[in-house]
Structure 1
Amino acid sequence: MSSRHRSGSGSAATLIVVVADIMAFILGLWIVMYLLDANRANDLVEFVRDAARWLAGWSYDLFTFDEAWARVVCGYGLAAVVYLLIGHGVAGRVRRL
């Protein structure tokens, strides 16, 4: 394969990894903000919460632990791990093209 083609797939793989990492970072940031009882009236906290809820829409209410903090850590944490695994896995496949 030509080096031009490989650099294109490398750039695409890098973009995929960066997007997956940003998604996981937002989810992790919301977990930390929740655990530290961040001021929900703050615009940044509200933005992070809304973004995390959107990203973890499929998992944030998946678990029914009695403790709210455990539901947040597991629900949002699961989404973060899945995004990292899928993003890095797809990027690895793209790099091999």
Structure 2
Amino acid sequence: MRGIDSVIRTVAHVLVGILVVWIALDLLDANPANTVVGWFHSAADWLAGWSIGLFDVSHHTAQVLLDYGIPAVVYAAIAHLVARRTAART
């Protein structure tokens, strides 16, 4: 089934996209009262809950990149490994 690996990759790209958009919104000082910004913040916090505060650095930019960038990389890597194994089995 060629479609399952595509679905896995697509879902991973959506999750990574949410995290990357939140990183950009936070670093660009987007208005936190905006509904869209709030949605991305909530979604990113939920996706990155396990990694927030994993490393403690003093610079805000580095902290945001670590808190939300690590899960983005992990989700992409795991999804691509799973998709590759799924594609190899078919």
Normalised-by-shorter TM-score class: over 0.9
Q: Report the secondary structure of 1:23's partner residue.
A: helix
CA RMSD across the alignment = 0.7
User: Structure 2: any 5+ residue segments left out of the alignment?
Assistant: none
Letter in 1 for 2:77: L
> 1:60, CA displacement in angstroms?
1.8
TM-score normalised by the chain length of structure 1 = 0.89
Give the equivalent residue in structure 2 for 1:3.
none
The alignment status of 1:88 with 2:80, answered yes or no, reads yes
Letter in 2 for 1:37: D
Equivalent residues, number? 89
Q: What is the CA–CA distance in structure 1 between the aligned matches of 2:75 and 2:8, rounded to whole Å?
A: 10
Percent pairwise identity = 43
Q: What is the CA–CA distance in structure 1 between the aligned matches of 2:28 and 2:9, rounded to whole Å?
A: 28
Give the equivalent residue in structure 2 for 1:44.
36
Mapping of residues 34-73 of structure 1, within 5 Å: 34-73=26-65
